[in-house]
Amino acid sequence: MEMMKLGPVGDHRNGKNWEEVCSDRISHIFVSFDERALTSIQFGYAKTGAPVLSKKHGSSSNSHSTRIVRLNHVSEFITGISGQCFCGDIISLTFHTNQKAHEAFRSTSNTSMTTGREFHSGMLDRREFGGFFGSCSSSRLNSIGIYLKPIVAAVPSGFAQYRGLPFNWS
């Protein structure tokens, strides 16, 4: 089944496209930034007990500040993201999970004319999260969105769906 794209936050028309399709549980998200905007993103996965890092998307410089978003990969999973943009730069980014919102970055520069974007998928099952996609340049992370994998929920025998709510016929 094909995945759906939600988003992105940011200017997806510029830069090189990237994607991070997830088959393992995300344990860390490394977000690098300067005083104005996001510069790169990298993901850490828990793979058979050992951490594995993805490719870094965006600037390869190590001179930027970095914030680490730590997820409880056993029980916590991504359900959405939100962010704001200013002049094509991502100036804030928050990851939403089934447990809480993790603010990864918020610029302190003058951002009086921002545009915001927020999307929550309503994911209730970690199997629905498919990964991230976006675009980047050699100096910036230009955009980020999430992949959603639709799954068919099993309905117990004797139940039917009525306006999205289970209804017991017995």
Q: In this structure, what DSSP letter does residue 154 have?
A: P
List, in order, residues 6 or more apart from 104 with CB less than 8 Å away. 29, 31, 67, 69, 93, 94, 95
In-domain check, residue 67: yes
3-class DSSP assignment, residue 3:
coil
The pLDDT of residue 168: 42
pLDDT band at 67 (very low <50, low <70, confident <90, very high): very high
* 85-144 pLDDT per residue, tens: 888 888 889 999 999 999 999 887 755 666 666 666 667 788 888 999 999 999 999 999
The pLDDT of residue 59: 92
From the DSSP assignment, how many helices (H) and strands (E) are in the chain?
0, 15
Overall average pLDDT of the 49-67 stretch? 88
> Above pLDDT 70, what percent of the chain?
81
In-domain check, residue 168: no
pLDDT band at 32 (very low <50, low <70, confident <90, very high): very high
The pLDDT of residue 170: 40
Overall average pLDDT of the 52-79 stretch? 91
Domain CATH number, residue 120? 2.100.10.30
In-domain check, residue 38: yes
Whole-model pTM: value is: 0.81
The answer, yes or no, to whether residue 166 has pLDDT greater than 70, is: no
* Mean pLDDT rounded to a whole number for the chain: 82
Sheet holding 89-97, edge to edge: 101-106, 89-97, 78-86, 115-120
The pLDDT of residue 110: 56
In-domain check, residue 143: yes
In-domain check, residue 16: yes
List, in order, residues 6 or more apart from 80 with CB less than 8 Å away. 6, 96, 118, 119, 120, 121, 123, 146
In-domain check, residue 46: yes
The pLDDT of residue 169: 44
Range of the domain at 82: 4-148
Number of structural domains in the chain: 1
The answer, yes or no, to whether residue 20 has pLDDT greater than 90, is: yes
